[in-house]
């Protein structure tokens, strides 16, 4: 009996996976409508970043969720490449536009790292190596 209670106690004390262990992942939605590459927890409404593009348009709308609501001109960088773009807050999101054929986006595809800076606020976007192929496919479909 004590063995059974000890085993039950040990099982109870084990830590269950937390919300942070719920794998944030990059998912490419390319079925119908706009292309969307989303940094999300699947099957939940939780998003960190989305990239949207109409196929063949080369224009990417970058949305950062949970970013501070600032408005103005952002400096978007990846590696040594940079671009300036207007940003606007929208319902708890920060949105900007970027061309998929711009050197910044090419550097982003190579490194998986992008930064959006407005004044003192910097919002990083990172895509791990395992998901870089999704970013490249997104860019390929976006540019046509």
Which of the pair, 65 or 92, is modelled with greater confidence? 65
Confidence of residue 32 (pLDDT cuts 50, 70, 90): confident
Domain at 71, CATH number: 2.60.40
136 within domain boundaries: yes
Ramachandran bin of 70, using left for φ above 0, alpha for ψ from -120 to 50, beta for the remaining angles: beta
Domain ranges, residue 51: 24-143
Side-chain-side CA neighbours of 78 within 13 Å: the count stands at: 18
Name the CA radius of gyration of the chain, rounded.
19
Q: What stretches of the chain show up as alpha helix (H) in DSSP? A: 2-13, 103-111, 132-143
Residue 58 has pLDDT above 80, yes or no: yes
Q: What is the pLDDT of residue 93?
A: 93
Please give the share of the chain, as a percent, with pLDDT higher than 70: 85
50 within domain boundaries: yes
Which of the pair, 32 or 129, is modelled with greater confidence? 129
The chain-wide mean pLDDT, for the chain, equals 88
Domain count along the chain: 1
Q: Which of 32, 45, 51 lies closest to 97 in space, CA to CA?
A: 51
CA 74 vs CA 35, 47, 66, 68, 124: distances in Å: 23, 21, 17, 13, 12
68 within domain boundaries: yes
Q: What is the pLDDT of residue 76?
A: 98
């Amino acid at each position: 009996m004590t063995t059974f209670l000890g085993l039950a106690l040990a099982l109870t004390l084990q830590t269950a996976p937390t919300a942070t262990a719920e794998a944030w992942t990059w998912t490419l939605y390319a079925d119908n409508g706009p292309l969307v590459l989303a940094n999300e927890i699947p099957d939940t409404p939780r998003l960190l970043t989305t990239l949207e593009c109409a196929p063949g348009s080369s224009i990417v709308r970058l949305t950062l969720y949970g970013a501070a609501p600032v408005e103005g001109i952002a400096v978007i960088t990846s590696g040594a490449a940079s671009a300036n773009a207007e940003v606007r807050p929208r319902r708890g999101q920060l949105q900007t536009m970027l061309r998929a054929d711009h050197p910044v986006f090419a550097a982003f595809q190579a490194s998986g790292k992008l930064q959006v800076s407005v004044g003192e606020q910097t919002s990083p976007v990172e895509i791990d190596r395992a998901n870089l192929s999704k970013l490249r496919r997104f860019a390929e479909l976006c540019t046509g």
